[in-house]
Amino acid sequence: MKLAEKTPQEVTPSTSSPPDPFRELVEIMAVLRSERGCPWDREQTPTSLKRYLLEECYEVLEALDGGDAARLCEELGDLLLQIVFQAQLAKEAGQFDINQVCAGLVAKLYRRHPHVFGEVKVADAEEVLRRWEQLKRQERPPSKRASVLEGVPKALPALARAYQIQKRAARVGFDWEQVQGPLDKVEEELKELRVACRNRKEGACVEEVGDVLFALVNACRFLRVDPEEALRQAIRKFERRFRRLEERARARGQALENLNLAEMDVLWEQIKAEEEGG
């Protein structure tokens, strides 16, 4: 009896490694969506699942940041579930299925790696990226877009979207020649932010903060720094130091909120110096 013919009660995780776990996953998803399946799964639509797809992406990132291989394995599975779920919905709508998704990806990987599967020679990873972008452009039909900025997903986090928008503009030559350009722009925007703060003009501070962030992202692009990852690292560093600050206060028999700012700053600088080997 095929898995798709079983009742949900008969579909249970195997105690031993199945011969084809990916196929079993796809078949389980079909059962969950069937009339005998799960009421919640049957109610879902491509749109209703969007939030879960995004959440699972962030949980994978968190597992990567934590360096926990077991958790990463689990979170990658949860992310894969969302992909298989979307493919099942598309299959039911007569659009495509998971095999077409995989076949398209396989073909793309062959096509975009001629230096591996063909005779093309490349010098380094940077040349690989340049060729990748060239191949992407060649694969697309002639563009009917009104702007080179079209096509950058609006759902991207703001820092990531700013980065991609700036890359698009740079492709047509709207760019500085050296990193000093965007660095000077950061300084210029900071001065304008200070003026806006002094004048307390309604809405001006929001606009100027946005301009500062946008300029910083441009500097990141020149420095080949992922702004999203840089900010995530800064957040992790702050969290680590702040937790140590709380521990240091408790060790002194004090609650952190009972210390004044000057006392907290002394402890903070001690923690910072210890981490930096000072």
CATH value at residue 38: 1.10.287.1080
261 domain residue, yes or no: yes
- Given a cut of 60, is residue 13 above it in pLDDT? no
Length of the chain: 278
pLDDT band of residue 278 (cuts 50, 70, 90) is low
Residue closest to 77 by CA, chosen among 85, 66, 67, 65: 85
For the ranges 77-86, 145-154, 161-170, 175-184, the one whose mean pLDDT is highest: 77-86
Question: Tell me, what's the pLDDT at 162?
Answer: 95
Whose tokens are 């503009």? That residue is: 169
221 domain residue, yes or no: no
Indicate if the alpha-carbon torsion angle 49, 52, 57, 63 is positive or negative. negative
* Number of domains present in the structure of the chain: 3
Taking the C-alpha atoms of residue 112 and residue 109, their distance in angstroms, rounded to an integer, is 5
Percentage of the chain exceeding pLDDT 90: 73
How many CB atoms sit inside 10 A of residue 127's CB? Answer: 13
Which of 116, 138, 160 lies at the terminal end of a domain, its last residue? 138
Q: Could you tell me if 86 and 64 lie in one domain?
A: yes
Q: Could you tell me if 19 and 92 lie in one domain?
A: yes
Question: Tell me, what's the pLDDT at 156?
Answer: 86
Across the chain, which distance is largest between two alpha carbons, in Å? Answer: 75
Domain of 61? 3-107
pLDDT digits (tens, 9 = 90+) for 100-121: 999 999 999 999 999 999 999 9
- Given a cut of 90, is residue 234 above it in pLDDT? yes
Taking the C-alpha atoms of residue 73 and residue 48, their distance in angstroms, rounded to an integer, is 25
Taking the C-alpha atoms of residue 149 and residue 159, their distance in angstroms, rounded to an integer, is 15
pLDDT digits (tens, 9 = 90+) for 116-172: 999 999 999 989 988 888 888 788 776 667 788 888 888 888 999 999 999 989 988
CA angle centred on 51, ends 49 and 52, rounded to 5°: 65
Question: Tell me, what's the pLDDT at 134?
Answer: 85
- H helix intervals, 140-226: 158-171, 180-199, 204-223
In the chain, what is the straight-line distance between the N-terminal and C-terminal CA atoms, in Å?
68
Taking the C-alpha atoms of residue 89 and residue 125, their distance in angstroms, rounded to an integer, is 37
Taking the C-alpha atoms of residue 217 and residue 226, their distance in angstroms, rounded to an integer, is 8
Question: Tell me, what's the pLDDT at 71?
Answer: 97
Q: Could you tell me if 238 and 263 lie in one domain?
A: yes
Q: Could you tell me if 48 and 113 lie in one domain?
A: no
219 domain residue, yes or no: no
pLDDT band of residue 15 (cuts 50, 70, 90) is low
Question: Which one-letter DSSP state was computed for residue 277?
Answer: T
Q: Is the pTM of this model over 0.85?
A: no
pLDDT band of residue 233 (cuts 50, 70, 90) is very high
**Which structure tokens are listed for 53?**
């797809």
13 domain residue, yes or no: yes
Q: Could you tell me if 36 and 131 lie in one domain?
A: no
Question: Tell me, what's the pLDDT at 17?
Answer: 56
Indicate if the alpha-carbon torsion angle 157, 161, 46, 74 is positive or negative. negative
Q: Could you tell me if 112 and 63 lie in one domain?
A: no
Question: Tell me, what's the pLDDT at 130?
Answer: 85
**Which structure tokens are listed for 250?**
């408790």
Average pLDDT over residues 220-244: 93
For 10, list phi and psi in degrees, rounded to 5.
Answer: -85, -15
Q: Could you tell me if 63 and 131 lie in one domain?
A: no
Q: Could you tell me if 114 and 62 lie in one domain?
A: no
